[in-house]
Structure formats: structure tokens, C-alpha cells
Structure 1
Amino acid sequence: MLSEAEIHEKCENIATEAYRGCGQSDILWANNVRTMIDGWLHSITDENERQLIITIAEQHGYSTDEYSDPDMCRHGLDYDCCPCGCGEL
């Protein structure tokens, strides 16, 4: 079981890693954080540790809700401004 300090450090590392490739999109960043934390939680069997991780992760931007906006592409950008060509589909 990880200590609270170790969980904080891992959550900070996940939040930092989530910035890579998100193109400054807060929606994509939040979805990246959620995906990485959910992946980590999948490997945790102790329910008390899971709850502690969730509590600390929420302080670092974790949410179980998937962020979406019907006016934005899956990258969290306006369809016409997405460099991946989402507006062209």
C-alpha cells in the first residue's frame, strides 16, 4: 500500500503526463487524467486504498465524469479549429 505522499506524487506525475499531447485542451487533459487514474485504480484491489487514491486524485483534477461538449470534437476543440481535421469529417 502506498503512503499518502506517494499517492500525491503519483497523481502529480499523472497530471503532468496528461499535458503531453493535449494541445492545451482542458477537456482532452481531463479525459487523459481520468483514463490514467482509472487504469491505475483497475490494478488496486484494496477498497480503502482505492478510496484514498480517488480522494487524492480529485485534488489533482480527477473526475469520474467524461468531459464532453456537443459543440467540440473529441479533442476538446472547436470542430473547425482542430488540427486533426475533425471539422472535415
Structure 2
Amino acid sequence: MAYQNFESVDIDNVYSPVKDGAYNPLMLEGVARQINRLANKNIKACGCSYEVYIANFSLSVDRIVSQAKDRDLRATILYVARECDYHSPEEVDEMRQSCLDAGLCVHGIDPDCCPAGCGDLP
């Protein structure tokens, strides 16, 4: 049960940093496995755009963090997610603005080549 999908388990109990009054050594390993699975899932769905990967992966991590009640667990999730290029919502906004400033769409692609149709938008 410790390595199931985040969405299907009570992450505060499974990945509690303290279990029975002692540090839970499986927490970091379990969180790392789940974050890496989440990163791989988002890599496969990004259409080879780093910007799309970052935005989608980071949003997925933010959803997980918002469900965790334990402060140490939230910090651990974010720490591990940084290793997979997690960006805060502010950093994602900055990345998107940087793309727009460079003449790209928010997906980091030439708007006329973007499969999302960004070049067709007014």
C-alpha cells in the first residue's frame, strides 16, 4: 500500500514522517517513488515541450501538497519534486511570461507550430 498512487491513499498516514513516535525511514523513499512516477507520467503527456511538462507536473504536485495535512510531509514532497524540476506557481507564471516575451506561446513553442493552436488565437 505504501507505493500506490497518491490520489488513492491517505498520504498523511502512509507517508507520515513520524510513526509510533519515531522517524519513518520509508517516507522519503515512498515519496520519491511517487514523485518520480508522477514526473514520468507528465513527461509522457507533455508533447516534448519542457514548459508543458513543468506546468503540468508542478500543478500535479501542488494538488498533492494541498491534500497533505502534515507540514513535514508537504516539505518532503516539495523537496523531492524539486529534483524533478518542480516549479512554484509563481515560477510557472514567470516561465510562461518569459516564453511570451521571447515570441513563443505559453507552451514554449513557436505559436504558428503549436499543436494547441496558439497561432490561431487573436
Q: CA RMSD in A?
A: 1.2
% identity of equivalent residues? 26
Structure 2, unpaired ranges of 5+: 1-11, 16-26
Q: 1:75 aligns with which of 107, 114, 118?
A: 107
Which 4+ stretches in 1 moved above 4 angstroms? none
Q: 1:63 aligns with which of 63, 77, 87?
A: 87
SS of residue paired to 2:45: coil
Paired residue type of 2:114: C
Considering Cα pairs closer than 8 Å and 6+ residues apart, tell me whether 1 or 2 has the greater RCO: 1
> Whose radius of gyration is greater, 1 or 2?
2
Separation in 1, partners of 2:45, 2:107: 10
Shift of 1:17: 0.8
SS of residue paired to 1:37: helix
Give the corresponding residue for 1:44. Answer: 68
Higher helix proportion, which one? 2
**TM, length-normalised to structure 2:** 0.68
Shift of 1:60: 1.5
**TM, length-normalised to structure 1:** 0.90
Structure 1, unpaired ranges of 5+: none
